[in-house]
């Protein structure tokens, strides 16, 4: 049986941090967020797994301190996934409509 959340999450940028150390995971997450800001992706998925909750705790602490993160929440269907909403600034070029 295919869950609706699986179909939805499959089309979002995803970072899998299974098996990573805390410090490495935070660096990878920072780079992933920055790359997706450049690509103007507003929603990303981080897979941290359930395990001992060390990665999930570190990720949430890191996200809490970032001003460019609009919100983040744990996937209601999978406790090993955090979904992050990035504040994407859409710059308007004042010259774009000039012919």
pLDDT digits (tens, 9 = 90+) for 17-70: 988 999 999 999 999 999 999 999 999 999 999 988 899 999 999 999 999 999
Top-confidence residue, 94 or 19: 19
| 96 in any annotated domain | no
Contacts of 16 (CB under 8 A, 6+ apart): 47
| 60 in any annotated domain | yes
pLDDT score, position 27: 97
Indicate the pTM of the whole model.
Answer: 0.81
pLDDT score, position 91: 63
The answer to whether 1 and 46 have CB atoms below 8 angstroms apart is no
Which residues form the domain of 22?
A: 4-86
Element of type H or E holding 43:
strand 43-47
Please check the confidence at residue 9 and state whether its pLDDT lies above 80.
Answer: no
Cβ neighbour number for residue 66 with a 10 Å cutoff: 15
pLDDT score, position 51: 86
Q: Which letter does DSSP use for residue 61 in this model?
A: H
CATH of the domain at 38: 3.30.1370.110
């Amino acid at each position: 049986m295919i869950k609706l959340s699986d179909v939805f999450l499959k089309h979002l940028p995803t970072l899998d941090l299974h098996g990573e150390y805390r410090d490495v995971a935070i660096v990878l997450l920072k780079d992933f967020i920055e790359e997706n800001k450049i690509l103007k992706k507003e929603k990303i998925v981080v897979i941290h797994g359930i395990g001992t909750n060390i990665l999930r705790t570190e990720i949430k602490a890191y996200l809490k301190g970032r001003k460019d993160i609009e919100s983040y929440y744990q996937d209601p269907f999978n406790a090993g996934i955090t979904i992050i909403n990035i504040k994407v600034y859409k710059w308007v070029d004042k010259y774009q409509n000039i012919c």
